[in-house]
Structure 1
Amino acid sequence: MLTDIKRIGILRALNLGDLLCAVPAFRALKAAYPGAEISLIGLPWSRAFQSRYRQYIDEMIEFPGYPGLPERDCDIDSIPVFINDMRSRRFDLLLQMQGKGTIVNPLVHAMKARYTAGFRPDKTEGLFLEYPDRLHEIHRHLSLLKHLDIPVQSSALEFPLNAADYAAFGEINDGLTEHQYICVHPGSKGAWRQWPTPYFAAIADYLAEKGYKIVITGVPSETGIAEEVLRYMRYPAVNLAGKTTLGSMAVLLQKARGLVSNCTGVSHLAAAIHTPSLVISMDGEAFRWSPLNTQLHQVVDWTKHQEYDYVIKQCESLLERTEYVLL
C-alpha cells in the first residue's frame, strides 16, 4: 500500500447509480487512509452526494466535462483552468474511476499527482489495472483498490438518511401506510434501458389487485413516462413523479413493501436502503449492475427472458421470500 498519502482525488463524474456502486470503494479508501483529505471530482449534482457521505468524501470538485465524455457538455476553455487547479492541489494519489481510461487517462496524467492510478483499456501496468469488463460494478472498483494493496472491507451499499429526508417525505406523504404500498419507477437515464410502459402498467395493476397501493415515481424529466403508465393502468395510483428529492425518495423506498423499476439509479438506492426490488435489466448488463443481495432483490434480464408471465413469476417469488422484511 502506498504510504504518506495525505491528499486523494477521485475522478468519477457520473450519475447516482455509478456513485452508489463506488461507495464500498470510497469506504475502504477512507479506512486505509483515515487522515487523508479525499476529494471527489464529479458532476454538479454530486455536491449533494458528497454532503451525504462526509464520512468518506471530504470535498467535491466540479468536473467541467471533457471532449468525448457524454455526461455533460464540455467547456473547452475551462479545461486548462481545471487542470491547473488540479495541479495546484498537489494530490498524493489520484484515482481514475471514470471508466476504461481510453479518453480520460491523458487528462488525469496531466494533473500531475504524485501517484496516479486507475483503469486502462489494455494490459495492467504499474498502478493502472486492465479494465475488468466482466466484473460487477461494485467489485470492479474494489479490484482497483486490491491492485493498490488497499484492504477491502464489505461490498455492501449504504445510504445515510437524516432528519431533513424524513421531513421532506412528510411533505409528500398523503396517507401512505408503511409496507402497504409498492413503488413503480418506469423511467431511466437512457431510453434503451426502459421496459415498455404497458408492461409497467400491467404489473402495477397486478400488484394493486393483491391489495397494494401503487406509487408511481420518477425524476422531473420522467413525469411524461409516469403519466403514460397511469393512462394504461386500470387501478388508481399515487403519482409522485417529479415531486421527490433524493432523500425523500430514499425514505419513500425505506417504508415501501417493494420497488419495481428498470436497472437505474433508484434500483441501486433500493439496494442501499434494503428494500425488496424487482429490477428489469434491458441492456444485457445484469451481471454488472444487479443488486448483490439475491434474496432481497430479483433481476430479470429482458434480453434473455422477454415474457411478461416470467416477470410475474419472479415478482411472486420475491414477494413470498421477502415477507420477513415486514416482521
Structure 2
Amino acid sequence: MNDITNIAPQRILACQLRQIGDVVLATPSFRLLKERYPEAKLDVLTEKKCASVLENNPHINHVWTIDKKALRNPLTALRYYRKVGKSGYDLIVDFQQLPRCKWVVRFSDAPVRLTFTPPWYNRHLYSHWSTPLNGYAAKCKASVLRPLGIEWNGEPPEVFFTDAEKQWASEFVQSQGMQAHQFVTIDPSHRRITRKWPERHFAGLIKLIHAQYPKLKFFILYGPGELPVAEEVGRLAGEGVVISQKMLSLREMAAVQSQATLHIGNCSAPRHLAVAVNTPSLVIHGATGLGWKYPSDEHVSVDKGLPCHFCNKNQCKTRECLETFHPEECIDEALRLIGNRLDTHNEDEG
C-alpha cells in the first residue's frame, strides 16, 4: 500500500451505520478528519434512526441516510448506493464493512478507500487499511485513520445543540418540576436482557441517593416500548421520580441530559450521549466489556466482578452479574459523582 499521509482530499465520505451509540462514538473521528482536512467537504452515510445525533454538527457537510423501509426493493437500494458512491469522493472511510457500506464502496471511484484490516474476500474493495487499536470504542474507531497520519488524543463524542434546543430543554426541565443541575437522569432499559440491571435495583439506588440528597429529582428516560420499565422503576422508587408523559426524541433526551447532575444507566446510547454533553455518568455493566467507557474519573463503570463478566452473551439463565449486584455496591461512586458535580455547579454560580 502506498503512503497516503500527504493526500489532500476535497470530498470525504465516512460510513458508520447501525446503533445510535456507535454513531455517537464516531463523532470524534469526524472532528479529526475535518481538522486534518479543513478545506474538504465531509459527508456521512448512516441509518435514518441515527441521523438526528449528527444534526448541527459543524464538521459534517451532508448526511446520507439509509431508510430501510424505503430501500426494501433491492434495485431501489442499489440505485441509492450507486448514487452515494458516484458522488465524487476521493476519500472513503468505512468503519464497519457492512453490506450496505460495501455496496457504496464498490460503486465508488475514490482513489483512497480506507477501512480496518479486511478479510481476504473484501480486500479488493479497499485500497488501504489499518489494524484497530484496543481500548475505548471511540479510540478504536479513530484508529482506522492512522494511515492518514491522524491519531486519537482523547477527543470525546459530541452532540451540538441550537440555541432553540437549549431553550426548549430549560423550559422542559422546569415544566417537569425540576431545576437544572438538581436532577439525575436514569436509563433503566436495554434491548438485551444480559445488559439490563433489574428495575428493583435502579429503584433501590434512587432511594439511597434520595436519602442523602432529598432535593434531587430522578428523571426516568425511555424509548419506544420502554415506558412500562420506566413506570416500574418509578413505582418501586417512589418519592423524587419524574416520568414525562411525552417520550423524548434523541436530541431532546440529550439536551435534557446536558442539564443533569448525573446520568445513571445501563450500557446503551444514553451513556455515550452523557459523555457527549459533558454530564458525569455511572453505568452498570452486565455482559458488555469496558471498551465502551470513556477514560475519565467522571465516567464510571461498575460491575459485580464475577469470573464470567464481560462475556458478551445475549442470553444467560441466571444473569448473576446483574441480579446479585446490589445498589449498596455502587452508592459510594454515585454520591462521589453527584457531590463533585454539585460542588462545581455551586462554584460556577458563586
Mapping of residues 2-81 of structure 1, within 5 Å: 2-53=6-57, 55-64=58-67, 75-81=73-79
**Are positions 1:318 and 2:337 aligned together?**
yes
Q: TM-score if structure 1 supplies the norm length?
A: 0.85
Take 1:273 and 1:117, find their aligned partners in 2: how far apart are those partners?
A: 30
Take 1:27 and 1:241, find their aligned partners in 2: how far apart are those partners?
A: 36
Give 3-state SS (helix, strand or coil) of 2:238's partner: coil
Take 1:73 and 1:81, find their aligned partners in 2: how far apart are those partners?
A: 9
User: Alignment partner for residue 114 of structure 2, among 110, 113, 117?
Assistant: 117
Take 2:224 and 2:168, find their aligned partners in 1: how far apart are those partners?
A: 16
**Are positions 1:251 and 2:248 aligned together?**
no
Conserved 8 A contact 1:222-1:242: no
Take 1:248 and 1:63, find their aligned partners in 2: how far apart are those partners?
A: 22
- Could you list the per-position Cα deviations for residues 180-201 of structure 1 after superposition, in whole angstroms to 9, with x for gaps in the alignment? 2212111234343211111111
CA shift for structure 1 position 232: 1.9
Take 2:6 and 2:66, find their aligned partners in 1: how far apart are those partners?
A: 26
Take 1:102 and 1:78, find their aligned partners in 2: how far apart are those partners?
A: 18
Take 1:241 and 1:95, find their aligned partners in 2: how far apart are those partners?
A: 41
Take 2:145 and 2:7, find their aligned partners in 1: how far apart are those partners?
A: 14
Residue segments in structure 1 that go unaligned for 5+ positions in a row: 67-71
Take 1:190 and 1:241, find their aligned partners in 2: how far apart are those partners?
A: 25
Counterpart in the other structure of 2:221 = 217
Conserved 8 A contact 2:10-2:39: yes
Q: Number of aligned pairs? A: 316
User: Alignment partner for residue 276 of structure 1, among 265, 276, 280?
Assistant: 280
Conserved 8 A contact 1:46-1:60: no
Counterpart in the other structure of 1:83 = 81
Give 3-state SS (helix, strand or coil) of 2:149's partner: coil
Counterpart in the other structure of 1:208 = 210
Identity among equivalent positions (%) equals: 22
**Are positions 1:290 and 2:260 aligned together?**
no
CA RMSD, Structure 1 to Structure 2 (Å)? 2.8
CA shift for structure 1 position 321: 4.3
Q: TM-score if structure 2 supplies the norm length?
A: 0.80
Give 3-state SS (helix, strand or coil) of 2:226's partner: helix
Pick closer, same or farther for the CA change 1:16–1:87 going to 2, 3 Å: closer
Pick closer, same or farther for the CA change 1:96–1:74 going to 2, 3 Å: farther
Paired amino acid for 2:276? A
Give 3-state SS (helix, strand or coil) of 2:203's partner: helix
Take 1:16 and 1:226, find their aligned partners in 2: how far apart are those partners?
A: 20
